[in-house]
Amino acid sequence: MSLVGWSAHRARTAFGPHLVRGRSAPKWRNEGAADHEMTTSQRVRSIEQHRRRCRAEPLIPEVALELQAAGTVVSHLDDPADVEMWREAGRLAGRRLGRHVRTGSTRCGCADRDGSHVWVVDLDYEVSEAEQRRSVLLLSAVFDGVRRPPEPGG
């Protein structure tokens, strides 16, 4: 790395002490190797991660919108190869919203469907009082044997 015209202090504050050779860099860090060199496995992982993100990019706005509105998104996927792409989109949507999220998947146990259910949950989502009341009504309807959920606002 060429730092012509840069003072040592400016270089350390711009790039961090671990990237600039000098007194502030620990001697044990990357002895004999350039700091920017990557191993082959690191390079392969980086390329794979970039490809996954590129495939997930079109899903991110849709997932982020649903995540912001409801705090959770559940989807059914027919192709098992799409599961990791969808989960990556959920993680990226959460990161762009500045939220802590968890993603997961499970095989569909439906007799008439094959595939997987995938989900993403916003751990910071605040449930409104109206949503809490609706949940209580839904649970009480299940326990009372009623199959139809109550209408919103009713």
> Are residues 119 and 73 both part of a single domain?
yes
> Are residues 77 and 119 both part of a single domain?
yes
- Asked if 87 contacts 118 with a C-beta cutoff of 8 angstroms, the reply is yes
CA 39, 42, 43, 44 torsion-angle sign: positive
pLDDT at 81 over 60: yes
Please indicate whether residue 44 or residue 100 has the higher confidence score (pLDDT).
100
50 inside domain:
no
Average pLDDT over all residues of the chain: 76
pLDDT at 25 over 50: no
pLDDT at 3 over 50: no
> Are residues 79 and 118 both part of a single domain?
yes
Range of the domain at 21: 8-37
> Helices 83-97 and 40-56, interaxial angle, to 10°?
80
Mean pLDDT of 3-25: 52
pLDDT of residue 44: 83
Per the DSSP assignment, residues forming a β-bridge with 103 are 120
> Are residues 119 and 131 both part of a single domain?
no
- Over pLDDT 70: what percentage of the chain? 66
> Are residues 71 and 87 both part of a single domain?
yes
3 inside domain:
no
Q: What is the pLDDT of residues 32-67, one digit of tens each?
A: 555 557 788 888 888 888 888 888 888 899 999 999
> Are residues 29 and 75 both part of a single domain?
no
The total number of structural domains that make up the chain: 3
- Asked if 124 contacts 116 with a C-beta cutoff of 8 angstroms, the reply is no
| CATH code where residue 70 lies | 3.30.110.20
> Are residues 99 and 134 both part of a single domain?
no
44 inside domain:
no
79 SS3 class: coil
Q: What is the pLDDT of residues 136-149, one digit of tens each?
A: 888 888 887 755 65
DSSP alpha helix (H) spans, 16-81: 40-56, 60-70
Other C-beta atoms lying within 10 Å of the C-beta of residue 20:
21
Report d(CA 64, CA 101) in Å as an integer.
Answer: 11
